[in-house]
Amino acid sequence: MAGQLQITEELSDYVRTVSLREDEILRSLREQTAALPMGTAMQVMAEEGQLLALLARLIGARTIVEVGTFTGYGTLCLARAVAPGGRVITCDIAERWPLIGVPFWREAGVLDRIDSRIGDAADVLATLLLEEGPGSADFVFIDADKPGYPKYYEAALTLLRENGLIVVDNTLFLGRVADPAAGDADTEAIRAFNAMLGEDRRVEVSLLPVADGITLVRKL
């Protein structure tokens, strides 16, 4: 059995060449985001956006919740993939980032499918639970502050229907999770979250060593 392939820059370029289908609207949003301080680091990779869309379509997601909008690249990928009549509810604590995404969402013709909320994700998720009820979401994408992950995950699991999908971003955290010298709060938070998830028998889990680490969680 072959081991885990080490991804070089050349291989990443190759993958993009043969499989990335990023249109002009997404590319413009990515370029505008890249001009922001930390823009490239904060935004989902284009390949990841494409994977999110594929997963959403695969499960026929109608109600999608995104925790951490930033400039809305992932939001746009998800909004295009949502089933007819469905929507993406996305939240961010900072108003200025989602505002950058709005013209791109409009240009792509999906603005009416996006419910963009500003506020702390824990509060937004609690409100959603009251508004929509448990089991109302098909897909939750968690991609905000790392210490908040356990809270967001628990709320997401309650919001999610049986067989629904949670996708958690940055679960390898720049590879720092496996570096004993890395003891910063974010790395520790991700390590604790991954360890908790590994033991959580309410779900089926797969941690993909893709992008910055993407964990797929199916609610049993």
Contact residues: ligand SAM, CB under 6 A: 42-44, 68, 70, 73-74, 91-94, 97, 120-121, 143-145, 148
Least Cβ distance, residue 1 to ligand SAM (angstroms): 34
Cα–Cα dist 160/140, whole Å:
8
Least Cβ distance, residue 123 to ligand SAM (angstroms): 8
Helix (H, G, I), strand (E, B), or coil: what is residue 69? coil
Least Cβ distance, residue 40 to ligand SAM (angstroms): 10
Tokens encoding 82: 């949502």
Q: What is the dihedral of CA 109, 169, 20, 31, to 10 degrees?
A: 60
H or E, element range at 205: strand 203-208
Least Cβ distance, residue 42 to ligand SAM (angstroms): 4
Q: At 65, phi and psi to the nearest 5?
A: -120, 130
**H-only helix segments in the chain:** 9-19, 24-34, 39-42, 46-58, 73-81, 96-107, 121-132, 149-159, 185-199
**Position of minimal CB gap to ligand SAM:** 74
Tokens encoding 126: 């609690």
Nearer to ligand SAM, 97 or 139 (CB): 97
Nearer to ligand SAM, 44 or 64 (CB): 44
**H-only helix segments in 96-146:** 96-107, 121-132
Nearer to ligand SAM, 30 or 219 (CB): 30
Nearer to ligand SAM, 73 or 219 (CB): 73
Least Cβ distance, residue 79 to ligand SAM (angstroms): 11
